[in-house]
A and B are shown apart, each in its own frame.
Chain A
């Protein structure tokens, strides 16, 4: 197993059999620079772990300008919408660089989670970590970190 993947939160607390079960759900993908990884509004069908490169999360809408929300890099996961109704991607994601990912198919993940408590804990732990991280980032931006006091 890739050493970076072995150390990743997704693998924490899993024995060899559980790791194998989880990795059976995963397929490697490659995205050329400037290509979409996830498209807002489409069916959310996977959890994406970035192993190399950089991905930009964007919010777009009819008539609205595209807003870059965050950039993500190796070791970070993308895509929690597969677990949350209505099961559609809430944001666009584009490869800013040539990007390699490991993508866990949602149906396979659900099945593994229903059978192995440790996998449920690992996957939900990663989702909560990701959501907490995004929430904190959004709150920090509301604080306007770089504003001068009184401005």
Chain B
């Protein structure tokens, strides 16, 4: 894609809107081009979604429907996403992208795939869950470790159930605070990694969530013996132009919109946890 084209949004249509949480705080758009065709994009990449007359926000690709339509899950965190929440099926929006690096699916071949997610961080790895459940990732097995504050904050329960029913996928979920009906794990997500169940010498881990959660998950992965070279993280910064021009998402020498958001840990290990960056 040429730079001049990258700055011009294409029109897309919201095919459907799904609330992911009872609070309505997170919703998923299924998008299609106005001619009905599917939008492009690989797991891990993001699009700039434009609510006309309101503004544009970066949103990770969070899956595809069985017929291939692209999905984006959006959390309402400000003026633009609040406006997006009011848009209904059939509304046209602008889309620029896809941008950024993708999860290294090819590298998972023959290895144990360990997916670590916290909170809304499940959205960018959800395409991996969908592909694993459809046997479209050539890994030996998949371990999904997912943590949220409460049971009510868990996203995509149907996808998690589908994965849990797959013979080569294990799903571990944990919450910070259980409710009266919760009989699952209580504790933080790095603890799920310390329970083992995968071969650290032949694993690839993908981690997505708030940065502090990723730091502690990285510590746990290192503790059980996964090398930095086999750990991938999706970094998040405020992205604006999405093509490395404006510098809004600069992270020392990296432009996360262009060089990321998916990084291999050994490329960024010295930057993790530096709050000033």
Contact between A143 and B212, CB atoms less than 8 A apart: yes
List chain A residues, Cβ under 8 A from B182: 68
Question: Interface residue tally of chain A, by bracket?
Answer: 20 to 34
Q: Give per-residue flags for B56-72: 1 if the beta carbon is below 8 A from chain A beta carbons, else 0.
A: 00000000000000000
Known: A68-B182, A146-B213. 16 other contacts (CB 8 A): A56-B186, A68-B177, A68-B178, A70-B186, A70-B187, A71-B186, A140-B190, A144-B176, A145-B119, A145-B189, A146-B118, A146-B120, A146-B121, A148-B75, A148-B119, A148-B120
Question: Which residue of chain A lies nearest to B214 when distances are taken between CB atoms in the complex?
Answer: A145
**A148 to B208 CA separation, bound complex (whole angstroms):** 12
Contact between A137 and B183, CB atoms less than 8 A apart: no
Q: List 5 A-B contacts (CB under 8 A).
A: A56-B186, A145-B189, A146-B118, A146-B148, A146-B209
List chain A residues, Cβ under 8 A from B184: 71
Contact between B210 and A149, CB atoms less than 8 A apart: yes
List chain B residues, Cβ under 8 A from A146: 118-121, 147-149, 153, 176, 209-210, 213
**A96 to B77 CA separation, bound complex (whole angstroms):** 37
Question: Which residue of chain B lies nearest to A73 when distances are taken between CB atoms in the complex?
Answer: B195
Assuming the contacts A71-B186, A146-B148, asked whether A141 and B176 have C-beta atoms less than 8 A apart, the reply is yes
A→B interface (CB under 8 Å): 56, 67-71, 73, 96, 137, 140-141, 143-151
Partner of A71, one of B77, B118, B187: B187
**A124 to B11 CA separation, bound complex (whole angstroms):** 65
Contact between B185 and A144, CB atoms less than 8 A apart: no
